[in-house]
């Protein structure tokens, strides 16, 4: 069997596939039995990730409201997965696709496995809520009450709230020949009613639908003692008033439900007048997506369930029942509304950046050294400050910025708007950032109105790289470029709880190539060589495969060979196959993959030297780090790309080297060793795709939580000596380090 290396290049980012025949790989495949498949299932791997998040909700060691937040996150994760991935599988089946996936399953087989897993997961979610969190919340005086539990004062308050705030927003509908079934919006919470006209007691039963207003909180805060927090579900309050809305009808039964629709975004670019207009139209069309899931209360009347299922054209296994709030992602409300700091993680203040005494501003500093920031342990303020200084400094003559996702009140937009009045300001905004398209369209239009040159990148490719470039005429008369390159979005809000890395630099090679990347984004002007940057879809896949093969050659020559790669997901077969070969050649490989990974670690004759760990904790692990021992001359790269087909071939991504000796040492001696030593929040992937807590597998290892350590390090409470030796990896500190070279 040949090994398929896929690299993208040429006009339009088209993929060029070259089939490399490797005798070693052919032998390996011949020795691999059917039971030893090369890849685990993608969908099963993703569900395993969401189960790891659910474990945090179940973990009594976490503060109670943090556990509620984790459960809410699992609901939000599952929503997005169902409306994109499960919907995509249904669409493939309807379109007649029969090609097997990474695990050898055809789309219909994958869908069956995934649906069963989701049912199991939903049951686990509600067990966590009903049997663990609700009792603990009640012990703390935080109660979600049923109507029958309310006292006279609480009922009067709720009824007054209904008349004043809720009733004016409601539109009750009964389904009959004159009133067809309403268009239920994607993920909108509704009440379904089984009705019978009072004057016709033996007449037919009809269905009624009331949409719960999205403008209101799903939980109504009730009057209670100062040390208590009492709530009522909004749909329960509406249910108590159904009789007044349906006068002339007898309400036989009612149930809260929610429909999830296909949110895949498809369009024909050649037929579009403009990309912006296309996305705007598709946002409207998305509301017309086919239903893929019906969520409904466990005790719902069978007639209601059946009528809804038929109306939405769903099979029985697409109906998901829950004993509790229908939309678990809304539980995030409690985290923000309940003012109990003792039930949350202790507050953490990121470390501020201090410039050298000789530097009057960040530009002075960057001419002397690079600045590496590890968020949220390091404050995000220097990144915002870098962009704001660019807008305000008269010596800065040009600003260029990419944007994928950001906050609603982003200082980036304010800075670019200010800059447009006095200098060249360019923004490359991604309109197709899933679920953020509408806000990005608004920002793009407002930026254009302010005089910013707005571009939407290369047609057919998402612009996912994180780049900001300032061109400045310095005091010595030299015009220089200054750049920020990062692993995360330009979002000061998420920077407080996403782990990401930022590099601020004036390195002439790096900044010149960043300039070339902007030319590619705005004019589709390609160059043959972006080194020292790895740029997708042009050079990144080929470069990563080359770096992995180089480690293999070092191992075969008896030189130090070790790969440590941290990312969100691992899905690209050609990269996984290269890692398998490197493992067989003697390369030690440690992968830190937060989400899905279809690689099978620790399989004899296949991946014995590969270890995969996932860390799920207080902060969302979002940084991408790629370390190559390189025979003793370590190279480290950071970037926005995971090892996934979409990142390597369908997006504009940038991975960049860390060259500054101090920055290199920080990643090599502090950040990666901390992650590899984690035994508290780390889970170790098994060959079958399951994950086990590191503390259960590595029973003799000391308990060590990487995120806790990095917070304490930022606060000056510990030093690097607190990191225990990595148990499941070669000790990185024993490797001699040299300044990194450019990637070949």
Active site members: 464
3-state secondary structure of 424: strand
Encode burial over 621-630: b for 16+ CB neighbours within 10 A, e otherwise.
Answer: bbbbbbbbbb
Q: How far is CA 272 from CA 260, 276, 457, in A?
A: 28, 9, 15
Contacts of 689 (CB under 8 A, 6+ apart): 40, 41, 44, 45, 48, 600
Q: How far apart are CA 225 and CA 151, in angstroms?
A: 13
Strands 610-615 and 588-593: parallel
Dihedral (CA of 262, 263, 264, 268) sign: positive
Q: How far apart are CA 413 and CA 49, in angstroms?
A: 34
Q: How far apart are CA 239 and CA 235, in angstroms?
A: 6
Angle between helices 573-585 and 23-31 (to 10 degrees): 90
Q: How far apart are CA 590 and CA 675, in angstroms?
A: 10
Q: Where are the beta strands (DSSP E) in 496-632?
A: 498-505, 534-536, 562-567, 588-593, 610-615, 620-621, 624-628
Q: Assess whether the previous peptide bond of 376 is cis (omega < 30° from 0).
A: yes
Compute and round to an integer the Cα radius of gyration of the chain. Answer: 28
Q: Tell me which residue of 460, 384, 462, 397 sits closest to 426, measured CA to CA.
A: 397
Q: Torsion angle of alpha carbons 101, 104, 106, 107, nearest 10°? A: -40
Q: How far is CA 367 from CA 395, 467, 474, 475, 481, in A?
A: 15, 19, 10, 12, 10
Burial of 253 (C-beta count, 10 Å sphere; 0-12/13-18/19+):
middle
- For residue 8, what are the β-bridge partners? 15
Secondary element (H or E) of residue 521: helix 508-523
Strand order in the sheet with 142-145: 142-145, 229-233, 219-222
Is residue 591 within 8 A of residue 560, CB to CB? The reply is no
Report long-range pairs for 97-105 (Cβ below 8 Å, ≥24 apart).
101/41, 101/42, 102/38, 102/39, 102/40, 102/41, 102/42, 102/571, 102/573, 102/598, 103/37, 103/39, 103/40, 103/41, 103/42, 103/44, 103/598, 104/37, 105/41
Describe the chain by its helix, strand, coil percentages, rounded to 5: 40, 25, 35
Is residue 587 within 8 A of residue 555, CB to CB? The reply is yes
Q: How far apart are CA 7 and CA 14, in angstroms?
A: 9
- Residues in the chain, how many? 744
3-state secondary structure of 125: helix
Q: How far apart are CA 284 and CA 666, in angstroms?
A: 47
Q: What is the distance, to the nearest Å, from the Cα of residue 685 to the centroid of all Cα atoms in its chain?
A: 20
- For residue 320, what are the β-bridge partners? 295
> What number of other Cβ atoms are within 10 A of residue 282's Cβ?
17
Residue 305's region, left for phi above 0, alpha for psi from -120 to 50, else beta, is alpha
3-state secondary structure 80-111: HHHHHHHHHHHHHHHCCCCCCCCCCCCHHHHH
């Amino acid at each position: 069997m040949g090994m398929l290396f896929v690299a993208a290049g040429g006009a339009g980012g088209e993929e060029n596939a070259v089939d490399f025949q490797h005798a070693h790989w052919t032998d390996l495949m011949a020795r691999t039995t059917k039971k030893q498949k090369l890849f685990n299932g993608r969908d099963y791997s993703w569900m395993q990730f969401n189960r790891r998040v659910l474990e945090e909700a179940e973990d009594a060691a976490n503060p109670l409201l943090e556990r509620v937040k984790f459960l809410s996150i699992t609901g939000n994760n599952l929503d997005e997965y169902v409306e994109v991935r499960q919907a995509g599988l249904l669409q493939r089946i309807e379109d007649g696709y029969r090609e097997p996936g990474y695990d050898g399953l055809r789309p219909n087989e994958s869908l069956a496995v995934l649906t069963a897993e989701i049912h199991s997961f939903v049951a686990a979610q509600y067990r966590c809520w009903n049997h663990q969190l609700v009792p603990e919340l009640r012990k703390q005086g935080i109660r979600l009450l049923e109507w029958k539990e309310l006292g006279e004062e609480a009922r009067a308050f709720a009824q007054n709230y209904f008349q004043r705030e809720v009733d004016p927003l409601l539109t009750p509908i009964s389904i009959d020949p004159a009133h067809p079934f309403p268009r239920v919006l994607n993920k909108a919470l509704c009440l379904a009613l089984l009705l019978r006209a009072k004057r016709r007691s033996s007449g037919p039963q009809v269905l009624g639908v009331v949409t719960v207003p999205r403008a209101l909180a799903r939980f109504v805060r009730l009057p209670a003692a100062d040390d208590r927090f009492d709530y009522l579900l909004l749909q329960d309050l509406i249910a108590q008033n159904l009789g007044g809305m349906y006068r002339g009808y007898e309400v036989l039964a009612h149930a809260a439900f929610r429909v999830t629709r296909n949110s895949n975004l498809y369009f024909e670019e050649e037929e579009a007048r403009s990309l912006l207009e296309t996305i705007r139209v598709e946002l409207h069309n998305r509301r017309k997506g086919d239903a893929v899931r019906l969520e409904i209360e466990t005790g719902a009347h069978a007639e209601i369930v059946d009528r809804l299922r038929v109306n939405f054209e769903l099979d029985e296994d697409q109906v998901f029942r829950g004993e509790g709030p229908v939309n678990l992602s809304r539980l995030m409300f409690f985290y923000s509304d309940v003012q109990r700091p003792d039930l949350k993680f202790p507050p953490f203040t990121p470390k501020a950046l201090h410039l050298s005494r000789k530097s009057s501003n960040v530009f002075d500093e960057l001419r002397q050294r690079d600045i590496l920031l590890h968020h949220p342990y390091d404050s995000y303020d220097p990144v915002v400050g870098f962009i704001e200084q660019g807008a305000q400094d008269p010596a800065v003559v040009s600003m260029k910025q990419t944007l994928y996702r950001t906050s609603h009140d982003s200082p980036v937009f304010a800075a670019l708007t200010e800059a447009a009045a006095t200098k060249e300001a360019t923004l490359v905004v991604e309109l197709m950032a899933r679920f953020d398209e509408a806000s990005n369209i608004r920002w793009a239009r407002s930026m254009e109105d302010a005089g910013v040159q707005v571009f939407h990148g290369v047609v057919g490719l998402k612009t996912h790289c994180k780049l900001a470039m300032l061109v400045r005429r310095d005091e010595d008369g030299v015009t220089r470029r200054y750049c920020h390159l990062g692993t995360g979005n330009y979002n000061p809000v998420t920077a407080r709880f996403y782990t990401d890395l930022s590099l601020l630099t004036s390195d002439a090679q790096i900044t010149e190539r960043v300039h070339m990347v902007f030319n590619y984004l705005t004019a589709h002007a390609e160059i043959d060589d972006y080194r020292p940057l790895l740029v997708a879809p042009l050079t990144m896949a080929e470069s990563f495969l080359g770096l992995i093969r180089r480690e293999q050659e070092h191992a075969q020559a008896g030189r130090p060979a070790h790969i440590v790669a941290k990312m969100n997901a691992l899905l690209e077969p050609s990269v996984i196959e290269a890692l398998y070969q490197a493992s067989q050649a003697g390369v030690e490989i440690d992968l830190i993959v937060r989400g899905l990974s279809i690689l099978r670690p620790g399989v004899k004759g296949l991946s014995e030297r590969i270890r995969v760990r996932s860390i799920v904790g207080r902060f969302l692990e979002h940084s991408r780090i790629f370390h190559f021992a390189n025979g003793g001359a370590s190279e480290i790269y950071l970037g926005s790309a995971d090892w996934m087909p979409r990142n390597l071939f369908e997006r504009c991504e940038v991975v960049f080297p860390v060259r500054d000796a101090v920055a290199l040492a920080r990643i090599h001696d502090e950040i990666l060793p901390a992650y590899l030593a984690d035994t508290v929040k780390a889970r170790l992937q098994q060959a079958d795709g399951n994950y086990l807590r590191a503390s259960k597998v590595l029973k003799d290892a000391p308990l060590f939580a990487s995120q806790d350590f990095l917070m304490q390090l930022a606060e000056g409470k510990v030093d690097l000596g607190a990191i225990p030796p990595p148990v499941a990896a070669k000790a990185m500190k024993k490797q001699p380090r040299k300044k990194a070279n450019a990637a070949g």
